[in-house]
Structure 1
């Protein structure tokens, strides 16, 4: 029950996002360890909760599949029922398949809290659909890994807009019995005449443009790309050209992790982008694969629980965020989902005692090499004041052209 569909398939960036002031400062990813929030990004004036009150009796949760399991999918997997018993808040959980779907549902005002990926969180903030979060009201917040706090995708000018859930990197995987010599970086999937043409896979989302931009950061410094989510038109055109060149070599763009697992097992795919838990599944099938986190960095995700500005059950919403960010629930959800938990104490409670080592949960140096998914906006996330960057609507249009 992992992220079964693409993080975003088609969207026109909300007009309000482009009009919400300028953005500069820390940028959208690791790449050297910058951790500032979204610079001078001006968020709408949405009030922040000042104190906790009586529980309302229910909370309406929007979640990625695997984040809020109540035993209905697997009787042995249930951390929602203990929350309900502890708080008296009935958890009404709705799963979504893409960030766009989550955004649409949040705008209805029917949901109190959402697990937002970095390609959605700024849009929720800019549209006024997400409220700033008073972390002083959350007992579990001090235990969240410091390198996940006050980042460009979950905060604005030092104000957090949510509670980190978990994170992970996009990795390079290959069939060791077919791909020789072993690849050393992303060049293996972006070179002009790859030896494994037609056997390469890539993630099916406009956000994958950032992977090409990161490749160009490392190979064509004259383009001036400092942040793969902050591309002016010339830089976007260069990234698109790389992906159009790559397109004929792609066996299949994947969004369903089971299909990627099957493709590597059958040999229809020999090399490409993956997630750690997919690699674990393939290795469990006795398929000889290698997995690499390239030394020059990678893209990845960090998901955040955010509360709706229209929440009618804000006390139960805060109770849920505090609970799911606590060590026990965070350990269970992260292990089931397949990502590093955000709570530093969660690693002592995972079933697999090597889990956090496998997922680098406490490894800040590793985390700092990840450029986490962040919504591209017209105000350049790399701090440029003399340039206009391309937004997610333009990325979506470009992705449609790339795929043909």
Structure 2
């Protein structure tokens, strides 16, 4: 979920270069090369340039795209339309699951989607998105290297990084001694000390933090990747969450809810991100965010090209536009997350305080983050073993552990 930041946002001033691309599809009747060993229907990466088609149909969560409707000062759509001639149509979805369902619908043809990690990996696996020819996205190499590698599969790139963040352990310094790790939240004896004053994010992917806790506490489970869990490992994480549940005040969906809980004194410890820490600190609230000793998770949203794209040339212009420093600056300030392009912090774009708070360009910080990916049955993609659990199983475990 995203929350609108309250800082003043500059008008979009990026200059879009008229780069356009023709996307060949291997589906019947849409072309394809002879002798290709990929399944029929798999979209291919663009290889040529062409004029814009005048339209662009996008899919995103609320707040990911702004055209001045919420705040006239926040608009990176209108300048894009004026410079490219590509009129943007947006379908805003309420949940990642709704997004995934629409991208799977064969009767719908979205040119692009701003996909969170629980959606992105599944779209790649299900051939619902096309590879991206990054040579045709001006400025792509300016994006953070680690982020660029997150959506590479078999030598192909399936997304252009948009924004990112880490999942921190946040605490009120007046009520909680500096916690060293996730045990402060998940160890029953420690969680009991702050019973009724703990908040957690409401997402199946939050299971990964419980897995990190178990990785250090119970080595017999042999957890390596907190997002690739066997049935036994997932069940163990579910038990951790079930034992924690009586002590949780709130499972928050909107980042603003976590801010309110800490600001009002209802919470003193919980899962949060740099956004909540920054907002509360600017409001003179005594909170801090820490990287737990067992490790820290994070997430990245990326722009992806739909496999049934109708306006590929306009879509490539959009990829280039949203990767540019000026647009990245607007997106970061509005959504309260880190831009994928560190150049958003150069010149007079983002304020130094913002860039420091969100660790923009801090590659040592980025290397400490285990970025989320959609859980799948395959524990080891190279070995093609199906010994792990998928996102549906994670969702079921999350509901059983935190809601029932």
TM range (shorter): 0.7 to 0.9
**In the TM superposition, what is the alpha-carbon distance from 1:383 to its structure 2 partner?**
6.2
1:68-87 matches, cutoff 5 A: 68-87=65-84
Sort the Cα spacing of 1:3 and 1:114 in 2 relative to 1 into closer, same or farther, 3 A: farther
1:81-137 deviations in whole A, cap 9, x for unaligned? 111111111111232232111112223423211111111111111222101111111
Distance (Å, rounded) in 2 between the aligned partners of 1:390 and 1:230: 7
Instruction: Give the equivalent residue in structure 2 for 1:59.
Output: 56
1:9-28 deviations in whole A, cap 9, x for unaligned? xxxxxxxxxxxxxxxxxxxx
Partner SS state of residue 361, structure 2: coil
Is the contact made by 2:59 and 2:114 (CA closer than 8 Å) also made in structure 1? yes
1:189-228 matches, cutoff 5 A: 189-193=185-189, 194=191, 195-228=193-226
Distance (Å, rounded) in 1 between the aligned partners of 2:342 and 2:285: 32
Stretches of structure 1 that go unaligned for 5 or more consecutive residues are 5-41
1:174-215 deviations in whole A, cap 9, x for unaligned? 112222x22122111011123101211111111111110111
Is the contact made by 2:278 and 2:357 (CA closer than 8 Å) also made in structure 1? no
**TM-score, with structure 2 as normaliser:** 0.85
Distance (Å, rounded) in 2 between the aligned partners of 1:257 and 1:342: 20
Whether 1:188 and 2:184 are equivalent positions in the alignment is yes
Instruction: Give the equivalent residue in structure 1 for 2:245.
Output: 247
Partner SS state of residue 354, structure 1: helix
Partner SS state of residue 139, structure 1: coil
**TM-score, with structure 1 as normaliser:** 0.85
Is the contact made by 1:3 and 1:97 (CA closer than 8 Å) also made in structure 2? no
Is the contact made by 1:226 and 1:382 (CA closer than 8 Å) also made in structure 2? no
Instruction: Give the equivalent residue in structure 1 for 2:156.
Output: 159
Partner SS state of residue 149, structure 2: coil
Is the contact made by 1:230 and 1:382 (CA closer than 8 Å) also made in structure 2? no
Instruction: Give the equivalent residue in structure 2 for 1:289.
Output: 287
Partner SS state of residue 170, structure 1: strand
1:44-100 deviations in whole A, cap 9, x for unaligned? 732222112111111112123332211111111111111111111111123223211
Partner SS state of residue 93, structure 1: strand
Whether 1:123 and 2:122 are equivalent positions in the alignment is yes
Partner SS state of residue 53, structure 1: coil
Instruction: Give the equivalent residue in structure 1 for 2:339.
Output: 341
Q: Which residue of 252, 268, 271 maps to 1:270?
A: 268
Distance (Å, rounded) in 2 between the aligned partners of 1:129 and 1:400: 27
Distance (Å, rounded) in 2 between the aligned partners of 1:171 and 1:52: 43
**In the TM superposition, what is the alpha-carbon distance from 1:293 to its structure 2 partner?**
2.0
Higher relative contact order (CA 8 A, sep 6+): 1
Is the contact made by 1:344 and 1:362 (CA closer than 8 Å) also made in structure 2? yes
Is the contact made by 1:131 and 1:161 (CA closer than 8 Å) also made in structure 2? yes
Is the contact made by 1:43 and 1:156 (CA closer than 8 Å) also made in structure 2? no
Instruction: Give the equivalent residue in structure 1 for 2:26.
Output: none
Partner SS state of residue 110, structure 1: coil
Sort the Cα spacing of 1:318 and 1:402 in 2 relative to 1 into closer, same or farther, 3 A: same
Instruction: Give the equivalent residue in structure 2 for 1:279.
Output: 277
Distance (Å, rounded) in 1 between the aligned partners of 2:383 and 2:237: 19
Instruction: Give the equivalent residue in structure 2 for 1:46.
Output: 43
Partner SS state of residue 188, structure 2: coil
Distance (Å, rounded) in 2 between the aligned partners of 1:348 and 1:87: 25
Q: Which residue of 320, 323, 326 maps to 1:322?
A: 320
- C-alpha RMSD over aligned residues: 2.1
**In the TM superposition, what is the alpha-carbon distance from 1:218 to its structure 2 partner?**
2.0
Q: Which residue of 251, 258, 261 maps to 1:260?
A: 258
